[in-house]
Chains A and B, each alone.
Chain A
Amino acid sequence: MNFKRLTALAVATVIGAGAFWASQPAVAQAEDEMFIPLMVYRTGPYAPNGIPLADAFQDYLKVLNERDGGINGVKMTWEECETQYNNDRGVECYERLKNNGPTGAAAFFPFSTGITYALIERATNDKIPVFSMGYGRADASDGRVFPYVFTSPTTYWAQADAMINYIAQQEGGYGDLDGKKIALVYHDSAYGKEPIKTLELLAEEHGFKLTLHPVSHPGLEQKSTWLQIGRRVKPDWTLMWGWGVMNATAIKEASAVGYPMDRFIGVWWSGSEVDVRPAGDQAIGYKAGNFHGVGQDFGVVQDILTHVYAKGQGTGPEDQVGEVLYNRGLINMFIITEAIRTAMGRYGDKALTGEQVRWGFENLNIDQATLERAGFDGMMKPIQLSCTDHEGGGQLLVQQWNGSEWEVVSDWIEPNGDLIRGLYEASAEQYANEKGIALDRCTS
């Protein structure tokens, strides 16, 4: 067969497959099943971070179905869609999955700030909640302007503030921040730039000096940045907003210039096992923010091991269970399923629409008893949301790498609520102004 004929055949096959695919009707599903779309990235540049998250999503849904028979008797169904952490593909996945299941998608959680930005308007229009847990648009915590976006339990702005609070505690109080130098090393994208405004405001208020060090994507070349930090700026503390390969590189470079690791704090996307392991012993002492506990010593993790992994149903390798990103995936699924459970309290035990799940989010109250029932006791703080507050807390833990595992080294740290709230509202009001959105949603 010559090449021309081969090409013609290949093209014909693809066109045929395309035509067939286009003509397929959506698969019908039972009325008592709740559909949850899973946007994942198991391939592409951020796959090492995406895989444990994706495995945890499925494992938690499996344990819900296995152990409890779903939520109040309603089984969970799900479908994965591969985004490759790419905004265009994320939007495509959203459009592909939003109408699946008997009542459409319950909520979307893209795990990418870029995709979140692209979805906010679409999802608001389609009345499907977007749950961006600790990423995405921070001012979307203002429920008056963003009725369909939820940022619980915390945002970049709240975390930046809580990190400064932690530094102040270490230095002996906010008064001792005066004259100190704090450097921010960040991924030069929408994601990395999020904390800058908050930090600048705090620098003005507390009198520390902030220096900014952008790192361009993907972040494999940081020699000059770290020479500058290590030799010229010599900051008292360094914060990092990094993601993917940038994190391990930063840790290695920081160690190469002799920067003290215990004064180097990463955001929670810079604090998983895949970030520190490549740096080896150089990473010992490195700190990172987090909003949940790590490890296997939690009821829910044990349940997953007995109900899912022991039966050979596990989605990923068993030794990844309990890692930082894995537990984050569990918490993400936990908050969504609790929102569904809350909504069922009002709308009945059946598959719910996105609009109903949104009500569940706004009336979500995860108290200590709920945490104990679901096995999340000790892993996260209680959360309560309302019409105006779509964040609910914003507390932070600081964890430290000891060479083999992450240890939590701080208590729960509170951000300065009023200050952050003011920032959210000012920014959200500007957005509302640009888009012509009325601000009276929660008062009426």
Chain B
Amino acid sequence: MFYREAGQFKATYAADQAIFPILQDKIGIAIILAIAFGVIPAFASDYFLSSLMLPFLVFSLAALGLNILLGYCGQLSLGTGAFMACGAFFAYKITTAFPELNIIFVFLLAGAGTAAVGVFFGLPSLRIKGFYLAVATLAAQFFLIWMFNKVDWWTNFSPSGVISAPPREVLPGFAVTGSSATPVDRYYFALGVVCVLALLAKNMVRSRIGRTWMAIRDMDIAAEIIGIRPMAAKLSAFAISSFYIGVAGALWAFVYTSSVEALAFDINRSFQVLFMVIIGGLGSILGSFLGAAFIVLLPIIINQAPAAVGIVMDTALLGHIEFMVLGALIIIILIAEPHGMARLWQIGKEKLRLWPFPH
């Protein structure tokens, strides 16, 4: 009933090609955007914005990047953390070398640099696939982190290898990095970047390039026979995916934590993003956001829930409960729906379409 499409006719090509063809979806997205841009900054506390929403947005972007590569193009990568580090360190070097350059261009250049690195480490994908490729991308993970940790030039010769975000403004008076940036400004900036890139991703996967990725993912030999060039498809997936992850890394270091060392992007970070993509849903833009929310926000909610309902609990016990509940939820969700949380939402939509008269 809620998703009844009867009566929604498409009379033009533009209407037929809309991102959200159903009226209910359009309204839903409009509400979500209104909440994200209007309600949250107006009412949420600094804690909510800077400790929950910022990491959620940054990880959503990283998960989106990995989803393009893994979910849409079928190339398994374990180098996400390293590509995030690339984005962070490239942005740091660019912005300290050219302090006048607007931070948006810094982030775009950092993303472009990461895309180049991604293409380089994506080259093995032309010969190997699946788990073998995952191991090959591990090389990127180890090599890049080692390099950022070892070569002092990347940190402007800081004695401890920590980079710290210098103060930068997007527009005069709208600082987004450094100590003068308010949580609301940081949030708006991150939200803007994520929304633009998510919209681009959504359109990309519906267009020719997205369809070539999916053809390669579903059966590469068949795709090649019908005229898709595997090299162009795979390398473009690596480039675009790395671009997204690089921008996410730069956001992480500049807008969220403000100071970061290379070890913050170790292999655990790669796994974290990989789990987000798997739990959220492979090959789904929405899934990237759901997965990020699950991995980033849920542990914090579990950790605070007992205190919120007035149960005083030992910190260590609470820590262990957090691990157990999160682990159990991961298992339950994956057994119930191996295609991830995005698929659960899709099933929910199907049911709503028939409700209240299931057949």
Residues of chain A having any CB pair with chain B under 8 Å: 3-4, 6-8, 10-11, 14, 17-18, 20-22, 24, 40, 42-44, 47, 51, 54, 80-82, 84, 87-88, 91-92, 95-96, 99, 113-114, 117-118, 120-122, 124-125, 137-138, 188-191, 193-194, 196-197, 217, 427, 431, 434-436
Contacts and interface: CB of A to CB of B under 8 A. Distances in A.
A189 B304 contact: no
Given A120-B259, A190-B160, A190-B263, A95 B323 contact: no
Contacts of A4: 336-337, 347
Contacts of B179: 121-122, 124-125, 435
A95 B298 contact: no
B47 A20 contact: no
B230 interface: no
14 contacts: A10-B332, A17-B308, A42-B319, A43-B319, A82-B315, A95-B46, A118-B257, A121-B178, A121-B259, A125-B180, A189-B261, A193-B161, A194-B159, A427-B159
Interface in B339-354: 344, 347
Given A7-B344, A121-B164, A189-B261, A43 B320 contact: yes
Contacts of A92: 51-52, 300
Contacts of A217: 263, 266
Contact of A7 (B161, B303, B332): B332
Contact of A121 (B258, B260, B319, B320): B258
A125 to B, nearest CB: 5
A84 B319 contact: yes
B24 interface: no
Contacts of B261: 114, 117, 189-190
| 3 closest A-B pairs by CB | A43-B319, A42-B316, A21-B308
Secondary structure call for the A interface: helix
B91 to A, nearest CB: 15
B41 interface: no
Interface in B233-276: 257-261, 263-264, 266
Contacts of A88: 55, 257
Nearest to A51: B316
Contacts of A43: 316, 319-320, 323
A191 B156 CA distance: 17
Contacts of A22: 48
B263 A6 contact: no
Contact of A96 (B47, B167, B309, B329): B47
B170 interface: no
Contacts, number: 134
Given A43-B323, A95-B51, A435-B178, 13 more contacts: A17-B302, A17-B308, A21-B305, A42-B319, A43-B319, A84-B319, A91-B51, A95-B50, A96-B51, A121-B178, A121-B179, A124-B179, A190-B261
B17 to A, nearest CB: 33
Contacts of A196: 159
Contact of A82 (B149, B303, B332): B303
A82 B301 CA distance: 13
B133 to A, nearest CB: 24
A95 B49 CA distance: 10
Contacts of A82: 303, 315-316, 318-319, 322
Contacts of B344: 7-8, 11
A113 B158 CA distance: 15
Nearest to A217: B263
A117 B253 CA distance: 12
Contact of B258 (A24, A118, A194): A118
A82 B314 CA distance: 10
B203 interface: no
B149 A188 contact: yes
- Residue among B166, B305, B320 with max Cβ neighbours from chain A (10 Å): B305
A169 B50 CA distance: 50
A188 B300 CA distance: 29
A431 B166 CA distance: 10
A434 B332 contact: no
Nearest to A197: B159
A197 B157 CA distance: 11
A247 B157 CA distance: 28
B226 interface: no
A121 B50 CA distance: 14
Contacts of A435: 164, 166-167, 178-179
Contacts of A138: 159
Interface string B164-192: 10110000000000111000000000000
Contacts of B164: 117, 121, 431, 434-435
Given A14-B298, A196-B159, A87 B264 contact: yes
B67 to A, nearest CB: 21
Nearest to A94: B51
- Residue among A3, A14, A190, A431 with max Cβ neighbours from chain B (10 Å): A190
A83 to B, nearest CB: 10
B197 interface: no
Contact of B167 (A18, A20, A44, A436): A436
Interface string B40-73: 0000001110111001000000000000000000
A188 B147 CA distance: 12
A18 B55 CA distance: 17
A368 to B, nearest CB: 35
A47 B317 CA distance: 13
Contacts of B309: 17, 20-21
B162 interface: yes
A95 B266 contact: no
A44 B299 CA distance: 14
B244 to A, nearest CB: 20
Given A6-B336, A92-B51, A21 B301 contact: yes
B92 to A, nearest CB: 11
B102 interface: no
A80 B315 CA distance: 7
Contacts of B259: 117-118, 120-121
